[in-house]
Amino acid sequence: MKKLFLIASIITICTIAQAAPEILLGSLVSVNNTTSNSQVVALSPLQINFQQFNFQNGGLSNTNACSLKVQISTDGTNFTTTSTYLFPQTNSGGYTYYAPSTNLQVYVRVQATTTNNVSLGGSYGN
């Protein structure tokens, strides 16, 4: 019973911590004829689960002769490597690779562009 209460308490604390609003712009920040970025807030990480990769090679001089990097991107231009694959043998042929799942941390911010003096404030979350 104590363990169940402890688990329920931890879940409640995590839920409360997640739901707390994050200050983005403070309270009525003055933005005058400019572009200004708010604070950056981390969102809950997204878990990425990959399907199988099938790779072939025509023979390698050694198993380090080729490394394949599995990379992900949120914009198709900037990539992050999540895992690296080295062929297990030098023989030519096909190989199946199951990349481990990975978490992608996503961030949010608000950008304000004003043409005159404006007072702004805001937060994100419940």
The Cα–Cα gap between 15 and 25 comes to 24
How much of the chain, in percent, has pLDDT values that exceed 90?
42
Please give the residue range of the domain that contains residue 68. 46-104
Tell me: do 52 and 96 sit in the same domain.
yes
Quick one: 75 and 98 in the same domain? yes
Domain count of the chain? Answer: 2
Query: Looking at the structure, do residues 22 and 5 belong to the same domain, yes or no?
Result: yes
Q: What does the block give as tokens for 119?
A: 């007072």
- Does the model's pTM come out above 0.75? no
Residues 26 and 66 in one domain: no
Amino acid sitting at position 35 = T
Using CA atoms, how far residue 22 sits from 37, 59, 102, in Å, is: 15, 54, 25
Per-residue pLDDT tens digits for 58-93: 999 999 999 999 999 988 999 999 999 999 999 999
Mean pLDDT along residues 28-54: 84
Amino acid of residue 27: S
Q: Report the mean per-residue pLDDT for the chain.
A: 81
Amino acid residing at 111: Q
